[in-house]
Chain A
Amino acid sequence: MTDMSHEEAFSELAAVALDAVSVEVGAAVRAHAAVCPECGPELAAMEEAVAVLGQLAPDQQMYGGRAAGIRSRLVMRARAERDVQPGTETGSADLSRGVASLAGLGHKITPVSQRAVGTDAAARRVTPPGKVPPMRTVRPERPERNRSIMGWMALAATLALIATGVQLMRVSADRNSIRAALATRDSSSREDSLLAQIAEKDAMIAAMGGADVKMVSLATESAQQPHGKMFWNRVSNDWMMITYGLRSPKPGMTYQVWLVTDDAKISAGTFKPDAQGKTVMHANYALAPNALRAVAITEEPEGGMPAPTGPMIVVGSATL
């Protein structure tokens, strides 16, 4: 139905506003309404009434960090689409979908054989030890810009985006596993525990996926284990570090995280990995946006040290 009379179209306006007609009829009515001074405003008014009905729905709120997680995924996808191929809508969309798919952003992913990130036991909010130097604000630098550097920066940004995507995929898979477990819950206490874990994972996704998040890859020189990632939300100054493959520190020793700037090595806290060598660690520390040069982990005496003294276990440059 492509050629519709005014009377026919007018009689279908209510159904079109409710989306209760076929695609063909809807298209024909809308085509007519677009040029009809009577049907156009009438259809718009009816559609607005339908939308007001939508606002009458009883208030519902998403659980825990899910709302923040969705927000972060959306902004990250939009940012990726904008950054990767600006001005080329189709290409950028395709690449964005690829990254989104990699990160498990567009759709739910199957958690089979995915590597779990941390455990509740390993996930802890770390308070920097008492020996931590006072907070300081470092004046942001203005990096020299030339084509070569820009090219490397673009490459590094792309790699960082993909790495973040992989990390997000792991955490998303973890969250979906918990959701699956929740579907077969057998007690309210277990349900509460699983819901809390979902909120934890969603918060992690939000922390890793935001538009203002900088990521630092941590590795040894040989690029073998141990390794990890540090995510820094430069707006909230929340830090999250995930490590893999760390052996337990020697008796009486602990691992200590350092935020390295031009003129200081700032302790971000101490930690010990779980039995599998995994760690998920949160911290909050205000730092000027471009002040961070590197992130390092050293082995230090229990309680931490005011400055690094022990061997460097892993390090990652923040200037790429």
Chain B
Amino acid sequence: MSYSRDSGSNAEDVALIRRMCDSDETALGALYDRWMRSLYSLVMHLLKDADEAEDVVEETFWQAWRKASTYEPSRGAVSTWLLTIGRRKALDRLRAKRRQREEPFGSDRTFADLPSPSADPLQNAAGSELRRHVLTALQQLPAEQREVLELGYFGGLSQTEIADATGQPLGTVKTRMRLAMQKLREPLSMHRQGTV
């Protein structure tokens, strides 16, 4: 079995979710085949630990099975739903580690680790254009906005914790985070309107 990194249309994913709601376990297997690799890549990037990443992948798909009926297509793609569940579970583990070991705030994981837009290995696959635009937007963020985003995205820090970690006022952190996210979501709007 080879696991794809680019996984076809959302309509196919939604059909699988519907079958999961009807207790069709083969649909769970099919959804796993489509998204395991993307999910594993994300949680490995966050956790840097293969055993923990595997646990998170398993927990994520199990939650997807149990909570399939709560998926709402109007709130985003199935991939968004899955990756959100997985990222939250990974962040929960990071936070728990931080509490146990009293690790300092911060993260050694940055967006600099991500591939450059031109080097996107998925550039020939469907959806890669959107990823490329988001990556470009990410790299054009001012350093201070990018820093806030990295601490929130990779470290799972709250805005208050980010303020403590960076020595910036909470209001400044909120503004930077909001501006950064607005810039990142612009390619999505343009993508939907067909202008990129």
Contacts and interface: CB of A to CB of B under 8 A. Distances in A.
Interface of A: 11-15, 17-22, 42, 44-63, 66-68, 70-71, 73-75, 77-79, 81-82, 86, 93, 108, 179, 211
A51 B178 contact: no
Contacts of B96: none
B114 A58 contact: yes
B11 interface: no
Contacts of B3: 61, 67
B101 to A, nearest CB: 18
20 contacts: A12-B174, A19-B156, A22-B158, A44-B75, A45-B189, A46-B185, A49-B187, A50-B84, A53-B134, A53-B184, A55-B83, A57-B45, A59-B5, A60-B53, A67-B1, A70-B58, A74-B65, A75-B29, A77-B65, A82-B23
Interface of B: 1, 3, 5, 23, 25-26, 28-29, 32-33, 36-38, 40-42, 44-45, 50-51, 53-55, 57-58, 61-62, 65-66, 74-77, 79-80, 83-84, 86-88, 91, 113-115, 120-121, 127, 130-131, 134-135, 138, 149, 152-153, 156-159, 162, 174, 177-178, 180-182, 184-185, 187-189
A68 B33 CA distance: 9
Contact of B185 (A49, A74, A75): A49
Given A18-B152, A44-B75, A211-B26, A74 B58 contact: yes
A170 B112 CA distance: 43
Majority secondary structure of chain B interface residues (helix, strand, loop or mixed): helix
Contacts of B57: 70
A117 B37 CA distance: 30
A19 B91 contact: yes
A93 B66 contact: yes
Contacts of B149: 18
Given A54-B83, A70-B58, A82-B23, 20 more contacts: A11-B174, A12-B174, A19-B152, A20-B159, A21-B158, A22-B158, A46-B184, A48-B76, A48-B77, A49-B188, A50-B153, A52-B130, A52-B188, A57-B41, A57-B45, A62-B54, A67-B1, A68-B1, A73-B58, A75-B29
Nearest to B90: A54
Contacts, number: 176
B87 A61 contact: no
Contact of B65 (A18, A21, A78): A78
Given A20-B156, A46-B181, A57 B114 contact: yes
Nearest to B81: A51
B1 A59 contact: no
A181 to B, nearest CB: 14
Given A19-B87, A75-B29, A57 B131 contact: no
A67 B39 CA distance: 12
Contact of A59 (B41, B79, B156): B41
B117 to A, nearest CB: 10
A67 B36 contact: yes
A60 B40 contact: yes
A71 B36 contact: yes
